[in-house]
Amino acid sequence: MRTLILGIAGAAMVAVAAGAIFLFAQDRLAEPEAPRPDAVVEVSGAEIGGPFTLTTHEGERVTAEGLIDGPTLVYFGYTFCPDVCPIDAVVMADATRILAERGIDVTPVFVTVDPERDTAEALGGFVEAMHPEMVGLTGAPEEIKAAADAYKVFYSRVEQPDSAIGYLMNHTSFTYFMTAPEEIGALFRHGASAEVIADEVSRVMGAAG
Ligand code: NI
């Protein structure tokens, strides 16, 4: 029994390590250009955002209009992600805390690109560990696709037949600052720090008066 448990733990660790290397390689493939001046992407005039109807981690149906009724940070990822998504979710939560200290209330939103595994319950455990105000969103595959399309998010399933995790999701990893359902205020690449996000959001909010 002990050997079996150790064997499973070992296999899981190898799977996680392989996943991390895989994602690192994917990032390199997806973003060959370097260096960048910083993690803030120019968005003036960009058409990003749009309508969606999804289900929160508490099981409520919400629309973009209903949810994004104030400053909102949005991220598309999945809770099984071995490294990138948990890091970005922590950064989004930290940025939310920094902004709250400055008197700017933003709602952090984590939208899954893996609705098969990210049920409302699975998302609940994830977002509640990140920030008490974080909203997890899931839905039917076509609902997720519609939301992802609105945000120009790309994702695809990558089978991992030799791994305990089964499959990974290859996906873009931007953090969106939305001031309205169809109005983007700022866009951040993976790697943006909580301070960089908070400073840019503060700047945009200040400019908006
Ligand atoms: Ni991820």
- DSSP symbols for 137-161: EE--HHHHHHHHHHTT--EEEEEET
Q: Please, which residues have CB less than 5 A from ligand 1, an ion?
A: 77, 81, 84-85
Instruction: Note whether 75 and 88 are within 8 A (CB).
Output: yes
Task: Compute the radius of gyration of the chain from its Cα atoms.
Answer: 17
Q: In this structure, are residues 75 and 89 in contact, taking their beta carbons and an 8 Å threshold?
A: yes
Query: What spacing in Å lies between the alpha carbon of 79 and ligand 1's midpoint?
Result: 8
For residue 156, how many other CB atoms are within 10 A of its CB? 9
Q: Do residues 189 and 36 touch, judged by C-beta distance below 8 A?
A: yes
* 209 C-alpha to ligand 1 centroid (Å): 34
Using 50 as the pLDDT threshold, list the residues of the chain that sit under it: 1, 21-37
Residues 6+ away with beta carbon under 8 Å from 199:
none
- Centre of ligand 1 to C-alpha 171, Å, is 6
